[in-house]
Structure 1
Amino acid sequence: MKNYRIAVIPGDGIGIEVMREGIKVLESVSQLTGDLQFSFDHYDWSCEYYAKNGVMMPKDGLKRLEAYDAILLGAVGYPGVPDHISLRELLLEIRQGFDQYINLRPIKLLPHVQCPVIGQTPETVDMVFIRENTEGEYAGAGGIFRETSPEACAVQSSIFTRRTTEKVMRYAFELARKRGKYHKLTSVTKSNALNYSMVFWDHIFDELASEYADVQTEQCHVDAMAMYMIQRPQDFDVVVASNLFGDILTDLGAALQGGLGFAAGANINPERKYPSMFEPVHGSAPQIAGRGIANPMAMIWTVKMMLDFLGHESYGECVLSAMMKVLADPNAITPDLGGKGTTASVGDAICRQLHML
């Protein structure tokens, strides 16, 4: 039997609620398979923790996490704590500290889910974004000068290293080579305006493209890409983008797949030197927290991605199949999808489907 140690950071708001359902699904997988076991250690690092302690996590937080097989994160953010504090002092601290330079986000419309763009189907909305996750526009380089004076000046610098940019693109090329759709990779850029960082990005992409002759390539400026994702999502298979561009476009992708309730994500250290972190990317949604109506599908899809990464793709596919079975019942789903289900009842329904599968 394989025993995985999982660090659990539920976070804030609905993060706490959807995390319960993710763990519930993992426990069902463990019971049903007999060859997997999960042990969970919970950490209360959150905005509430910040309000009490003045930090988002302890100084030795990374040291505590590094021995785990994976990290599950719910969602972080709450009114009263500035977003740049909650993001940079917990989420980005872990991403950068553990060299989780791959952010993996599936943009896939599931059956029985309505896409807001008329005419789109599960066959036409099916792409994967590879977002550079530790550098780029979120590197955190810069400063504010003469902050209290009329001459105040803010400088925010992007950082793109050849080492990380090349590794991210190689990961994307390899995934495009394996995917059964088009074997196509689209690079998102803005080199007409960003004449250093994005020209550098394009140059490395062109270099690597010559090594992957079996992969179709396309380059799109980020503004055009936003339009094309609406007009012709069927043309995209694997997409690689910088930190900022990938962040923005995957929220657009979440809308295509039916809303942020389906927005699963993974922060991956491919070399497995450090644990990877898996998180839904819908945010903590304090406006609905405590009402029991948050859609847990993104969290459960995230659990599926964790199973895939740990080498149990067949169990991950069972989780996705169970999700699709539940989506077929209009009475079982949460109110954001037009149903009357609760966060907990959807998790229970998915576990029942797992038992049937």
Structure 2
Amino acid sequence: MAAATAGTASYRIAVIPGDGIGVEVTAAARQVLDAVAARHRISLSYEEFDWSCQRYLAEGTMMPADGLERLRPADAILLGAVGWPGVPDHVSLWGLLIPIRRTFRQYVNLRPIRVFEGVVSPVRGARPGEVDLVVVRENVEGEYSEIGGRLGRGTPEELAMQEAVFTRAGVTRIVDYAFSLARTRRSYVTSATKSNGIVHTMPFWDEVVAERAAGYADVRWDAEHIDALAAKLVLQPERFDVIVGSNLFGDILSDLAAAVAGSIGIAPSANLDPTRTFPSMFEPVHGSAPDIAGQGVANPLGAVWSAAMMLDHLGHPGAAADIVAAIEACLLDPATRTRDLGGTASTEEVTHALLAQV
């Protein structure tokens, strides 16, 4: 990052719209970004990459061989969504998203969850102002390892094996991040585990969590088995502040929590390298939604909120707060809610409303 002119911060943003509604919501996020950036004297230059399932179908790869090197100079990466019928999910994810996360050591997947005023949660008792939590997901190891394989394909004796990988360094850094984050919030951490059924990795996770928690005497914490935690997240969502979990557990819990908040279309996420050695990546939680792609009805708020998280990561919390305030205003007005929230507003109408706010 370099100053373009006196008092103006300049950033290079790599943009990967991806597939389906990813293209639509990324365009909306860029419009909002440009508006708030102009107001806060931030200069954003974009380089767009057409890496997607459409590229895979045409060329046989999700991104070119030098794709990661082309992303490396960016200050941040803005991703829309990946996935399309005809391309298996493991091909699209392992061909693009996961290599970016792992090569750039984006070991924190951060997913804030709120029930906003004007949004009716499907969970009775999940009220605005009370449900406000963050899921901190370990993002580069755990259950999503590459270790394993299949033998005897197509035979009655076929075998598939997948190994989970938990390292002391990996668990330590994600737990430290969660406890440090809790200090800036309500000072409460819940650790997701399953040590009563998974005999090696989860007891190890629990031990490291307890060791690290000892250094955060000001932060209250507890551990919950993942099955009970999923139930309590629905029954008592207001109870939670920061939830930390492994790659698999964090993935599942964050989608569940987004549903509790009213719509996965609102939910943002950040894939962070807290050391800032590499660019971090920001993306909405929702997928490419082929069933509504091209209809102009996609909810852009998850992508826009992800863009706000990007600005906050780049050191502009005021600009990020302006975007979140615009999101709050749009959700409060029934006329600017998309159909996933019970409204009729189009992607374009919501985008225009956000622009009017910022």
Q: Does 1:251 align with 2:255?
A: yes
1:335 Cα shift? 1.6
- Aligned with residue 2 of structure 1, among 9, 12, 37: 9
Query: CA separation in 1, counterparts of 2:331 and 2:136?
Result: 27
Match of 1:46 in 2: 52
8 Å contact from structure 1 (residues 136, 160) kept in 2: yes
Over the aligned positions, Cα root-mean-square deviation in angstroms equals 0.8
Given candidates 109, 112, 116, the residue that maps to 1:103 is 109
The answer to whether the Cα contact below 8 Å between 2:147 and 2:162 also exists between their aligned partners in 1 is yes
> What is the alpha-carbon distance in structure 2 between the residues aligned to residue 331 and residue 178 of structure 1?
34
Render the CA deviation track for 1:288-325: whole Å, top value 9, x for unaligned: 00000000010001011101111111111110101111
- Equivalent runs, 1:209-248 vs 2, <5 Å: 209-248=213-252
1:198 aligns with 2:205: no
TM-score, scaled to structure 1: 0.97
Q: Secondary structure at the match of 1:167?
A: helix
Please tell me whether the aligned partners of residues 308 and 323 of structure 2 are also in contact (alpha carbons under 8 angstroms).
yes
Separation (CA, whole Å) in 1 of partners of 2:335 and 2:130: 26
Residue number among 301, 323, 327 corresponding to 1:297 in the alignment: 301
Does the 8 A contact of 2:270 with 2:282 survive in 1?
A: yes
Q: Which region of structure 1 is more displaced relative to structure 2, 71-80 or 344-353?
A: 344-353
CA distance in 2, matches of 1:142, 1:287: 33
Write the mapping of 1:68-87 to structure 2, written as runs, cut at 5 A: 68-87=74-93
Percent of aligned pairs sharing the same letter:
50
Which residue, 263, 279, 289 being the options, matches 2:283? 279
Post-superposition, which runs of at least 4 consecutive aligned residues in structure 1 deviate over 6 A? none
Q: Distance in 2 between matches of 1:333 and 1:210?
A: 45
2:37 maps to 30
After TM superposition, give the deviation of residue 22 of structure 1 in Å.
0.3
User: What's the offset of the Cα at 1:123?
Assistant: 2.4
Whether the 8 Å CA contact 2:36–2:322 is kept in 1: the answer is: no
Please, which moves more after superposition, 275-284 or 23-32?
23-32
Where structure 2 has 5 or more consecutive residues not aligned to the other structure, the ranges are 1-7
The answer on 1:14 being equivalent to 2:21 is: yes
Hey, what's the Cα distance between the residues in 1 that align with 2:11 and 2:128?
33
Q: Residues 123-138 of structure 1 correspond to what in structure 2 (within 5 A)?
A: 123-138=129-144
Distance in 2, matches of 1:123 and 1:222, equals 25
Which blocks of at least 5 consecutive residues in structure 1 are unaligned?
none
Deviation at 1:338, TM superposition (A): 2.1
In the alignment, structure 1 residue 58 sits paired with structure 2 residue 64? yes
Given that 2:37 and 2:319 are in contact with CA atoms closer than 8 Å, whether structure 1 keeps it comes out as no
Q: Do the aligned partners of 1:125 and 1:256 also contact (CA within 8 Å) in 2? A: no
